[in-house]
Structure 1
Amino acid sequence: MPTAPTTLPDTDLLRQMIRASGLKVTAPRVAVLRTLQQLPHSSAERVFDGVKDELSSTSPQAVYGILAAFTGAGLVRRFDPPGSPALFECRVGDNHHHLVCIRCATVRDVDCVIGEAPCLQPSDDAGFTVFAAEVTFNGLCGQCRTAASTDDDS
Structure 2
Amino acid sequence: MSETAEQDWQERLRSSGHRLTAQRELVLAAVETLGHATPEEVHAEVRRHSSAVNLSTVYRTLDLLDELGLIHHAHIEDRTPTYHSTRGHEHFHLVCHQCREVISLGADQAAPFVLQAAADHGFAVDVGHLTVFGTCASCQEAPGQECPDAEGGSSTS
The two structures have a TM-score, normalised by structure 1, of: 0.70
- Tell me which residue corresponds to 2:43: 48
- Tell me which residue corresponds to 2:26: 31
44, 51, 60: which one aligns with 1:65: 60
- Tell me which residue corresponds to 2:139: 145
8 Å CA contact 1:77, 1:92 repeated in 2: no
- Tell me which residue corresponds to 1:3: none
- Tell me which residue corresponds to 1:121: 117
Unpaired stretches in structure 2, ≥5 consecutive residues: 147-157
What's the CA shift string for 1:10-42, capped at 9, x where partnerless? 4x4553132132343221111111111111221
Change beyond 3 A, Cα 1:48–1:114: closer
The two structures have a TM-score, normalised by structure 2, of: 0.68
8 Å CA contact 1:120, 1:133 repeated in 2: no
Change beyond 3 A, Cα 1:82–1:69: same
Residues 82-97 of structure 1: matches in 2 within 5 Å? 83-91=78-86, 96-97=91-92
Give percent identity, aligned residues only. 22
Structure with more of its chain in strand, by fraction: 2
Tell me how many residue pairs correspond in the alignment: 139
Change beyond 3 A, Cα 1:17–1:108: farther
Structure with more of its chain in helix, by fraction: 2
